Each structure stands twice: as C-alpha cells, then as structure tokens.
Amino acid sequence: MSGFRERDTWWAYAFLIPWIFGFIVFTAGPMVWGAVLSFTNYSVVAPSHSVGLANYRQIANDPYALLSLKNSFEMTAIYVPLEMGLALLFASMLARLTRFDGFFRTVFYLPVMTPTVAIGGMYLLMFNGPYGLVDQFLGIFHIPQPYWLTDPNWIKPGIAAMLVWQVGANTVLYLAAIKNVPQQLYESAAIDGASAWRRFKDVTLPMISPTLFFTFIILTVYGLQVFDQIYTAFYNPSNAKISSDTSLMYVIYLFQQAFEYLHMGFASAMAWLLFGIILVITGIQILVSKRFVYYEGEQTR
Amino acid sequence: MKGRWKAIAVLAVAAAVVAVVAGTAAGAHRGVSSKSAGGTLNIMGFGTNGDDVAKNRTAIAEKAVAPVKVNLPNGGFNEQQFLTDLASKQVPDLVYWDRSYVGTYAAKGALMPLTSCIKSQHIDLSQYRQAALGPVTYKGVVYGIPEFFDVRTIIVDTNVADQSGVTGKMLNTQNLNTLKAAALKMYKHNGGQVTRIGFDPKLPEFFPLWAKIFGVDILSKNGLVPHLNDPRAIAALTYANSLIQAQGGYNAFLAFRNTWDFFGGDNQVAKNQVGAWPMEEWYYNVLASVSPNVHVAAIPVRNHIGGIVNYSTGSAWSIPKGAANTAAACKWMKAMTATKTWVTVANIRKAKYAQNHQYWTGLFTANSKADAIINKPTSGEPKQWASILNTVEHAEKYSFAIPASPASAEFTTAWTNAVNRVLQGQQSPKQALDQAQKEAVAAIKAATK
C-alpha cells in the first residue's frame, strides 16, 4: 500500500504512461466524443447542432435499425453455440492425441491467421450454392444443398458458419484448459466407474468452465460486432447485388449510416446503444455464470 | 490508498498533457503542410495503375499545371478517408470519384461550385454530354467535370443465339414477349442447375435501365422526387424479375452466374454460358483482349416505343471546399477532359493495339466531340468489332443518367434493397417499390432540411 513512495512503483507507472496515453487518445477520447456526437446531427460536412435525444428516439422508430439488431442477435445465437461446440469437439480430440499433437494444433490454428477480408471473399466461393465446396461436400452425403448467399432462410446460418472459420483460436484455448485439468480427477472418476461421457460432463466441463465462460462472453460480443467478413461478402460495392434485409447486421447498418449516408450523430447513437446492450448482456451472463462456473480455490456450491 | 489515487491522478494528467501536446504538434504539422501546398496539387482517387490512357493523360495534365508539383497517390476514391480529410479540414485539392457522389456532397456544401473555374479556364461545357453533366449539376450549379462515360448495350453471344434459332431482332427490349421467348430458347439447365443463362437482365444493378425501357425515370430531373413506385417501374421490375424466375429462379440463376470467369479466357462468352445480357461497353475491351475469337454482337437497348436508350454512369472531378490550390485543380480538370487530350491518348493506344494485333473497341468519354473522333473502327478491323464499335458509339447519343440527388446513397440503397427483396421472394414488386419510395422520399426530405 505504501508502494507509491517506492522508486520501482513510480517506474512501473512511468512505463504505463504510453498505454494510458493510447487509451485516452484512441479509446476513451473517441468514446466520449462519440457520446457527445450522439446528441447532435453531426454529418462531418455540414454544420451540426444539438438534437437532444432525437437520434435515440429515431433508432426506436427506424425499421432497419430494429431489423438489423434482430439479425445480429439471431446470427449470434447461431454462431456462439456452433463455435463453442466445434472448438470443444476439436480440443477434446486434440487432447487425446499422443503423437503429432503440435502439428495438428498448428493446423487447427492456421485459419486464424487468414485476414478477415479474405474470409469474406473465400465465403463467396465456398458457399456458392451447389457450386461451392461446402455444398459439394454435403452432396456426398445426399444432404440438401442450400443457397447460402441468397436464400433468406440460409443467409444467417451461412454467416455463422463463415465466422466459425476461425474456430482454431478457441480450440487452442480449450485445449490448454483441458490439459490443465488435474489427471488424478480423471483417475478417481475412472476408479469410481465413470464412463467417458460422465468424465467429460462431470470433470472436464466444470474444470474448464471459466474458459468456456470467458469465450462465451467474448464470442457474444464478437458476434454482435462482427463487420469485415460480412461487409466484404455482401456489402462491398461490387457485391451489392446479394445484399439483403437478412444479411443486414447492426454494425453494417451503423457503418452505412455513418460513412455512406453521413449521419454521424445517428450512427454514434447506434454505437452507444450497442455498447449498452452488450454491457447488459455481459452483466446477465456474469450473474448467470455464478451458478455454472467453477473457479479453483473458491468455495464449492 | 489516498496516495495511490493521487499518483494515478498525476499519471492521468501527465498522459492527458502528452496527448494534448501530441495533438497540438499534429495540428502544427497540418498547418505547415497546408501552407506548402501552394506549389502542390493534391489529388485523391485517381490512380494510373499501369493504364496507358491514365498515364498519358496525367503526363499532359502535369504539363498544363507546371510548375505545380502533382501529388497523385495510387488507389481509388476512399469515402472514409475523404470524410476524415473533411473533418480535419485538410482536404485534397481535387477528388476523382463516381458522379453519383457529387449531388450528396454538393447539397451539404462540401464542394466548390465550379462556375468561376469554368469561366476563368474557358472550359467549354457544350463538349460534355448532357447525361454526364446532369449527375454533376445540383440546383443548376456545376460541381464536377465529367470524365468517362459508360454505355450499356446488349452483348449477344452469336454462337449461342444461332444454335438456339434466336435472331438479333428477337433480342429487342421493345418486344418483351419475344425477348422472353428468345431467353427461354437459349436457356439451358440440368435438373435444378442452370447450365446456360438465356438472357440476364442484370438485376438489381440495371433496374434504372429497365424502368426507362418501360418509360419512367426513377428520379426527377432535379433529384428531389423519386418515382420508384410508378406503375411503369413496378411493371419493369415485374418483367425483369420474371425473366430470372423463368430461367431457374434467382438462387440457381445467381449461383451459376457467380461461377463465371468474368475477366479470364474462360469467360462466359468463350464458354457459351450466356446468350445475351445488357452490359457496359468496357466489357467488349475485355473480350477483345482475353478472347478475341469469340463471336459477339452489340444490340442497342430500346424503350417501349422503340427508341434507343442508354443508361449511363461514370466518373468526374470535383474540388472540395477549402482546397488550397483551386487554380491548379481547375487547370488539371480542363486538361484531363479536353478533346485534344482524349484524341492524343486514344491515338497512342490505337498505335499500341495495332502493334500488338489487338482490336480497337473504343474509348468512351463524357466528351462527345472527342468520342466522335476517337470511336471510329481502325482500318482492317474485323467486321464484328467494327460493327460493335459503331453500335456503341450510336447508342451513346441516347443516354440518360440518374440526376444528382442530395441523398444519392440512400436512394440507391432503397431501390437496390427493394429489387433484392423481390428477387429473393420476400415481397411483390409493388410492395417492395412502395417501401423503397417511402424510404427514398424520407431520405431526400431529411437531406434537404
């Protein structure tokens, strides 16, 4: 507590100044400025004035704002369980490997290195109805081949599937968590006659629940904010022919309002509303997590 | 604890001071650069990218503005960057962009009226086509000097047409029933998969052309009154959509179209994957270059009473308000779009093409005087390419464009979304265009407040 009188502590904080500087200039400053703009009709090019809460009221009355918010929620609701489920499956498989595990870890992680814009471009090729790689694979098993890019029923599942391209990042996180589960717990469970499924359900899952919970929050936030891949695939001017009411996500609409229609004030209000929504969702997730997440060292419930 | 908070407060203040100082320094730097811009012409959005016409015109314009130094970074117009420049009051002297941007920025007061520039440089506006001047003129004031000019005609794969018993006369957009019958004759499928498109109406992009064929402009001349739910626009969308639905439906149709090797040697004409479709004239250049032996023809698009119509778009030069070097900017625009410049660079290209045994398929500009000189078939040109050039050159005279609008982006989004809703089966043409009309009216009203 008396650390501030010590020379080392001052040095530590001196080293923190660049970060604090960056935070003020690039994060806190724009956020505060965005909040101010959300109460104006700022358009960059014309003089602006205060409009009070009009932008927030307009969001409530804008059918595209509400539609895009609904789309973002629905897509995230598909994406998060899909990504977590697949990452857990791959991590469980990798954890069982005794040879070449490093190689496969790298292989699973490699797609994460793909630039997000390239993922959007690849999506158009891989999900192009019966001509795309995905449908051709489904065709082998005589599974119906959807038109992912243009059929309103399949656009959101298609986008969720595109985002899963980067499942390797979470796979590696889950793998690390699984590897950290004390071996003796599995041995005890085995001695008690627990099946593999019971060991997974009652040992692995509770022990990696903090990691699962962390990724649950991060993926939810990501799903609601994802932009690059969807914009590249559906809204890049050369692809506007396949944009649709179904692919319009909240952040895409926010971008259109800000940079295409020059409604910066309105877009700022949309951004702050999304911030508030994410804050509430995260709060609810934290509250709910108290029932399901187990942290080592804390009292058992 | 008290001491800790005190220290944190000190550190935060220190960081804030650093931030302010850095900001001030950046501001000071901007000040210096704008002062030194007196001898520089900063251009945004015009990259030569190895194109000979762009390079040779740049060389001519550089001479015209000498001794001013020209700063010409590669890359197209970037709206986000331009907005950042406007916000920081550090605008380029010239922007090169699509003509559709001009109305919106002019309405918001971000562009310099070119009245005095045109007068001082004696720029002859009569040399530019009306359809090119319309989108750069807002409330009677010119805010842009038009440059390239797209001409849309129907490209016909004559191999496919001949094999299917379809003649050029059947591909007349005046006779819609005959056109649909011709489309179905050329269309091929294998089960649920399309293997050849008979006639592609190019939706949603060419909806304004279809509306014009049916006799209506989707936006009034002053750019303030949309006509998206005019019965003729609804009929146009109904018809164009029916062409797609009759050829496998939108999903199968588009998925097949997405497989085309559009710019490659295995393009859709070389592989006989399409019978006919309306398209910009530059695609003839692509075909002549990558697959010169294909058999194609050009047919002008005609409206319901048989008149030729060309839906035109293109690029323009504008000067943002606050530009430091408007005199040089004005000289540059004049030089880049002058008849003499176009003719000079076209002749260089023709000579290059002749040397490479490449066919001349034209260079279509907003300057009608230049085009009349440039776009004549060269001697020894095969009949096919000569005929195409003549057809496109003739169609160019019957051009229309979407006028400058204070809400052009919203207007375009409104009709594009409407067409897509129809194509995807979510709404009828009337429902979709009624909704688009409401959205467009609201957007224009808000933009003119």
B positions 238-257 inside 8 Å of A (CB): 250-252, 254-256
* Cβ contact, residue pair B254, A45, below 8 Å: no
For B18, the closest of A17, A131, A261 (CB atoms) is A17
Q: Hey, what are B288's tokens?
A: 């002549």
* Cβ contact, residue pair A244, B424, below 8 Å: yes
For B254, the closest chain A residue by CA position comes to: A150
CATH number of A62-292: 1.10.3720.10
CB count within 10 Å of CB B302 equals 19
Q: Hey, what are A67's tokens?
A: 């539609």
Can you tell me the distance from the alpha carbon of B281 to that of A208, in angstroms, rounded to the nearest whole number?
61
Q: Are strands B94-98 and B145-146 parallel, antiparallel or unpaired?
A: unpaired
CA angle A85, A91, A94 (to 5 degrees): 145
The reply to whether A292 touches chain B by the CB within 8 Å rule is no
In this structure, the answer to whether residues B75 and B123 fall within a common structural domain is: yes
Any bridge partners for residue B276, and if so which?
Answer: B156, B199
Sheet harboring B152-157: ordered strands across? Answer: B188-190, B193-199, B274-280, B152-157, B296-299
pLDDT tens-place string over residues A194-207: 898 999 999 999 99
Give the mean pLDDT of A251-257. Answer: 96
Residue type, A266: F
In chain A, which residues have their Cβ closer than 8 Å to the Cβ of B83? 44-45, 259, 262
State the pLDDT at residue B32: 30
Does A223 or B18 have the greater pLDDT score? A223
Share of chain A above pLDDT 70, in %: 96
In this structure, the answer to whether residues B317 and B251 fall within a common structural domain is: no
ipTM here: 0.86
* Cβ contact, residue pair A17, B259, below 8 Å: no
In this prediction the pTM is 0.88
Can you tell me the distance from the alpha carbon of B47 to that of B199, in angstroms, rounded to the nearest whole number?
35
The reply to whether B21 touches chain A by the CB within 8 Å rule is no
State the pLDDT at residue A146: 93
In this structure, the answer to whether residues B139 and B241 fall within a common structural domain is: no
State the pLDDT at residue A102: 85
The reply to whether A13 touches chain B by the CB within 8 Å rule is yes
* Cβ contact, residue pair B11, A13, below 8 Å: yes
B positions 398-427 inside 8 Å of A (CB): 407, 409-410, 413, 416-417, 420-421, 423-426
Torsion of CA B446, B98, B238, B275, to 10 degrees: -170
State the pLDDT at residue B437: 98
Q: Quick check: is B435 in a domain?
A: yes
In chain A, which residues have their Cβ closer than 8 Å to the Cβ of B443? 261
Q: Hey, what are A255's tokens?
A: 């971008």
* Cβ contact, residue pair B16, A1, below 8 Å: no
Q: Quick check: is B7 in a domain?
A: no
State the pLDDT at residue A5: 66
* Cβ contact, residue pair B409, A43, below 8 Å: no
In this structure, the answer to whether residues B138 and B159 fall within a common structural domain is: no
Number of domains in chain B: 2
Q: Are strands B310-311 and B296-299 parallel, antiparallel or unpaired?
A: unpaired
* Cβ contact, residue pair B3, A46, below 8 Å: no
Q: Quick check: is B5 in a domain?
A: no
Kindly report whether the peptide bond that precedes residue B67 is cis, defined as omega within 30 degrees of 0: yes
Q: Quick check: is B376 in a domain?
A: yes
Mutate to test the interface with B, among A134, A243, A260 (most CBs of B within 10 A): A260
Can you tell me the distance from the alpha carbon of B410 to that of A261, in angstroms, rounded to the nearest whole number?
6
Q: Are B19 and A25 in contact (CB under 8 A)?
A: yes
The reply to whether B104 touches chain A by the CB within 8 Å rule is yes
Can you tell me the distance from the alpha carbon of B260 to that of B266, in angstroms, rounded to the nearest whole number?
8
For A129, the closest of B255, B407, B426 (CB atoms) is B255
CB count within 10 Å of CB B219 equals 25
Can you tell me the distance from the alpha carbon of B138 to that of B107, in angstroms, rounded to the nearest whole number?
7
Torsion of CA B21, B25, B30, B36, to 10 degrees: 160
Is the Cα dihedral B304, B148, B136, B447 positive or negative?
positive
Q: What is the mean pLDDT of each run of 10 residues along chain B (449 residues)?
A: 53 50 40 48 87 93 93 89 90 95 92 95 94 95 96 97 95 96 96 93 96 97 96 98 96 94 94 96 93 94 96 96 94 95 95 88 94 88 91 95 94 95 95 97 91
Mean pLDDT (chain A) is 90
Give the mean pLDDT of A210-223. Answer: 94
In this structure, the answer to whether residues B96 and B168 fall within a common structural domain is: no
In this structure, the answer to whether residues B271 and B298 fall within a common structural domain is: yes
pLDDT band at A237 (very low <50, low <70, confident <90, very high): confident
pLDDT band at A4 (very low <50, low <70, confident <90, very high): low
For A262, the closest of B1, B108, B258 (CB atoms) is B108
Query: What is the span of the domain harbouring residue B401?
Result: 41-151+312-406
In this structure, the answer to whether residues B117 and B217 fall within a common structural domain is: no
Is the Cα dihedral B301, B303, B309, B312 positive or negative?
negative
The reply to whether A260 touches chain B by the CB within 8 Å rule is yes
Nearest to B108 by CA among A37, A255, A44: A44
* Cβ contact, residue pair B205, A241, below 8 Å: yes
Can you tell me the distance from the alpha carbon of B178 to that of B199, in angstroms, rounded to the nearest whole number?
12
Q: Are B233 and B213 in contact (CB under 8 A)?
A: no
Q: Hey, what are B347's tokens?
A: 């002749």
The reply to whether B290 touches chain A by the CB within 8 Å rule is no
Domain residue spans of chain A: 62-292
For B206, the closest chain A residue by CA position comes to: A241
Three-class SS string for B166-177?
A: CCHHHHCCCCHH
The reply to whether B431 touches chain A by the CB within 8 Å rule is no
Can you tell me the distance from the alpha carbon of B251 to that of A151, in angstroms, rounded to the nearest whole number?
7
In chain B, which residues have their Cβ closer than 8 Å to the Cβ of A20? 11-12, 15
The reply to whether A33 touches chain B by the CB within 8 Å rule is no
State the pLDDT at residue B38: 52
Can you tell me the distance from the alpha carbon of B310 to that of B321, in angstroms, rounded to the nearest whole number?
33
CB count within 10 Å of CB B419 equals 24
Nearest to B62 by CA among B327, B331, B301, B250: B331
pLDDT tens-place string over residues A39-61: 999 988 888 899 999 999 999 99
In chain A, which residues have their Cβ closer than 8 Å to the Cβ of B426? 152, 244-245
Radius of gyration of chain B (CA): 25
Q: Hey, what are B220's tokens?
A: 């009034």
In this structure, the answer to whether residues B208 and B290 fall within a common structural domain is: yes
The reply to whether A15 touches chain B by the CB within 8 Å rule is no
What percent helix, strand, coil does chain A show, rounded to 5?
A: 75, 0, 25
Give the distance from residue B191's alpha carbon to the nearest chain A alpha carbon, in angstroms: 12
In this structure, the answer to whether residues B121 and B211 fall within a common structural domain is: no
Sheet harboring B315-318: ordered strands across? Answer: B69-71, B40-44, B94-98, B315-318, B145-146
Query: Within 13 A of B211's CA, how many CA atoms are on the CB side?
Result: 27
Can you tell me the distance from the alpha carbon of B253 to that of A251, in angstroms, rounded to the nearest whole number?
30
Q: Quick check: is B9 in a domain?
A: no
Q: Quick check: is B24 in a domain?
A: no
Does A244 or B150 have the greater pLDDT score? B150
Three-class SS string for chain B?
A: CHHHHHHHHHHHHHHHHHHHHHHHHHHHHHHHHHHHHHHEEEEECCCCCCCHHHHHHHHHHHHHHCCCEEECCCCCCCHHHHHHHHHCCCCCCEEEEECHHHHHHHHCCCECCCHHHHHHCCCCHHHECHHHHHHHEECCEECCEECECCCEEEEEEHHHHHHHCCCHHHHCCCCHHHHHHHHHHHCEEECCEEEEEEECCCCCCCHHHHHHHCCCCCECCCCCCECCCCHHHHHHHHHHHHHHHHCCHHHHHHHHHCCCCCCCCCCCCCCCCEEEEEEECHHHHHHHHHCCCCCEEEECCECCCCCECEECCCEEEECECCCCCHHHHHHHHHHHHCHHHHHHHHHHHHHHHHHCCCCCCCCCECEHHHHHHHCCCCCCCCHHHHHHHHHHHHHHHHEECCCCCCCHHHHHHHHHHHHHHHHCCCCCHHHHHHHHHHHHHHHHHHHCC
- Give the helix/strand (H/E) hosting A104: helix A101-109
pLDDT at A266 over 90: yes
Nearest to B159 by CA among B33, B275, B280, B29: B275
B positions 43-102 inside 8 Å of A (CB): 79-80, 83, 86-87
Question: B354: domain CATH number?
Answer: 3.40.190.10
* Cβ contact, residue pair B86, A4, below 8 Å: no
pLDDT band at A286 (very low <50, low <70, confident <90, very high): confident
Any bridge partners for residue B141, and if so which?
Answer: B138
The reply to whether A188 touches chain B by the CB within 8 Å rule is no
Q: Quick check: is B10 in a domain?
A: no
Any bridge partners for residue B296, and if so which?
Answer: B157
CA angle B376, B379, B383 (to 5 degrees): 80
For A240, the closest of B259, B416, B425 (CB atoms) is B416
Q: Cβ contacts of residue B73 below 8 Å, gap of 6+?
A: B43, B44, B47
For A261, the closest of B15, B410, B420 (CB atoms) is B410
In this structure, the answer to whether residues B303 and B443 fall within a common structural domain is: yes
State the pLDDT at residue A7: 80
For A258, the closest chain B residue by CA position comes to: B80
